[in-house]
Amino acid sequence: MKTIAIVGGGPSSYIPELSSDLASLWIGADHGAKVLIEKGMPVDVAVGDFDSVSGDMLALIQAKAQETKVYPQEKNETDLELAVNEAIDRQAERILFFGVTGGRMDHTLANIQLLYPLLQHGVEGRIIDNQNEMELKLAGSHTINYSTSYPYISFIPISLKVEGLTLHNFKYPLEKESVPIGSTLCLSNQLCEDTGTYFFKEGIVLVVRSRDEGDLK
């Protein structure tokens, strides 16, 4: 599976330790290219209008990146969306997002919503920060493995209703439950086996794996 990582310009305190072996290609979205350089990571492609970096930093990005694509400030897409389009053009099968949470809530929510068009393209998308991993899932049967890094698992309805939600091998199991948007029924669950399964027949679910702030050390 071809994995491409995209790094945005969110607060660096939210960005976990990065490793070049997580992805075969790294894209910096605007200020995210600066983040990659500061963390000693490769910058295969830098995209955006670069209105959040200085002229000197843009020159450094252009020198360090294998390829830089500069767009006008007045455009229909956000810099992150441009990076997503770039990843899709490069046949990404999975996209890992870093630096796309924290700071402005409108940006965070819009970035989470970007996971949906990825599903429509058949691309797996995952947002990762210091405390959370997030991905959208469509109806069907899914398997999830235990993680010591992110022990808590929440299932948040994104559609108006999720029908037939069933959780097996969870501390709090469910059987064919109807869960409407706004419900907190499926927050902070945990696996009680190494592997669990979940199934739902209709709707869209945001699966959030998380840990408490005290577990970061």
Same domain? 178 vs 117:
no
Work out the number of other CB atoms within 10 angstroms of the CB of residue 121: 13
Same domain? 61 vs 158:
no
pTM of this structure: 0.94
Same domain? 114 vs 165:
no
Are the C-beta atoms of 136 and 204 separated by less than 8 Å? yes
How high is the pLDDT of residue 121? 85
Contacts of 14 (CB under 8 A, 6+ apart): 99, 101, 102, 129, 130
pLDDT in tens, 40-77: 999 999 999 998 889 999 999 999 999 999 998 888 88
Tokens describing residue 113:
């919503």
Domain housing 61: 3-130
How high is the pLDDT of residue 38? 93
Same domain? 62 vs 143:
no
How high is the pLDDT of residue 136? 96
How high is the pLDDT of residue 217? 55
Give the residue from 73, 101, 130 where a domain finishes.
Answer: 130
Give the residue from 61, 95, 130 where a domain finishes.
Answer: 130
How high is the pLDDT of residue 76? 85
How high is the pLDDT of residue 73? 84
Which stretches of the chain score pLDDT less than 50?
none
How high is the pLDDT of residue 18? 94
Same domain? 32 vs 126:
yes
Same domain? 66 vs 158:
no
Q: Which CATH number does the domain housing residue 29 bear?
A: 3.40.50.10240
Tokens describing residue 121:
């393209």
Same domain? 34 vs 123:
yes
Same domain? 125 vs 40:
yes
Give the residue from 78, 99, 130 where a domain finishes.
Answer: 130
pLDDT in tens, 7-18: 999 998 899 999
Same domain? 40 vs 80:
yes
How high is the pLDDT of residue 213? 79
Same domain? 172 vs 189:
yes
How high is the pLDDT of residue 46? 97
How high is the pLDDT of residue 12? 87
The count of domains in the chain is 2
